[in-house]
């Protein structure tokens, strides 16, 4: 079960709206959705959670690049919405690197007649590349510093009640609860 909400800062405080992510396929799509919720290029937070597994915060300030924090990168990697947040840049990969580098493949012409044990090496490589995503936080831990939630506090939040705790620190818990 997923929950996603937008919190847009306005002159009158925070405004919340729930959001459907069905049409969101990339971080750019998500940032555009956030920008649409803001009238004056104010701060917009996209809060995402997957039931007790992980949470994520995307911060969009005007036309600046979105800033991202994910509480558990490995859990988010197994989620369709989490994959949107885990960009190549955030994971420290070159853009467009999907893990298959044709230059690094050992194509010596013996592929058709290789012994069965050769496939085992490929499996080990595949599992080691999937293990490169850590169990733990990833991204900009200082994403909410100026809003009253420091990096240490953010890392200490439990996925079960993180969004409520963030909203409370922002003074937006009532507006968030209206869209829950």
- Residue-wise DSSP of 6-57: EEEEETTEEEEEE---TT--SHHHHHHHHHHT-SSS-EEEEEEEETTTEEEE
Is the pLDDT assigned to residue 169 strictly greater than 60?
yes
For the ranges 87-101, 103-117, 165-179, the lowest mean pLDDT is seen at 103-117
Helix (H) or strand (E) holding 139: strand 138-139
Give the pLDDT mean for 7-31: 92
Cβ distance 55 to 157 under 8 Å?
Answer: yes
The answer to whether 17 touches 179, Cβ cutoff 8 Å, is: yes
Q: What's the confidence (pLDDT) of residue 98?
A: 56
């Amino acid at each position: 079960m997923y929950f996603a909400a937008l919190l847009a800062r306005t002159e009158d405080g925070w405004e919340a709206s729930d959001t459907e992510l069905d049409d969101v396929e990339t971080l750019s799509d998500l940032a555009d959705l956030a920008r649409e919720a803001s009238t004056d290029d104010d701060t917009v937070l996209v809060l995402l959670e997957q039931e007790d597994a992980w949470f994520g915060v995307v911060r969009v300030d005007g036309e600046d690049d979105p800033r991202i924090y994910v509480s558990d990168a490995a859990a988010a990697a197994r989620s369709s919405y989490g994959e949107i947040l885990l960009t190549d840049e955030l994971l420290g990969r070159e853009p467009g690197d999907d893990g298959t580098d044709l230059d690094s493949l050992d194509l010596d012409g013996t592929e058709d007649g290789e012994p069965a044990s050769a496939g085992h090496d490929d499996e080990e490589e595949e599992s080691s590349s999937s293990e490169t995503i850590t169990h733990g936080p990833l991204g900009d831990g200082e994403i909410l510093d100026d809003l009253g939630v420091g990096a240490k506090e953010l890392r200490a939040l439990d996925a079960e009640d993180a969004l409520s705790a963030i909203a409370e620190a922002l003074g937006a818990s009532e507006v968030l609860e209206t869209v829950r």
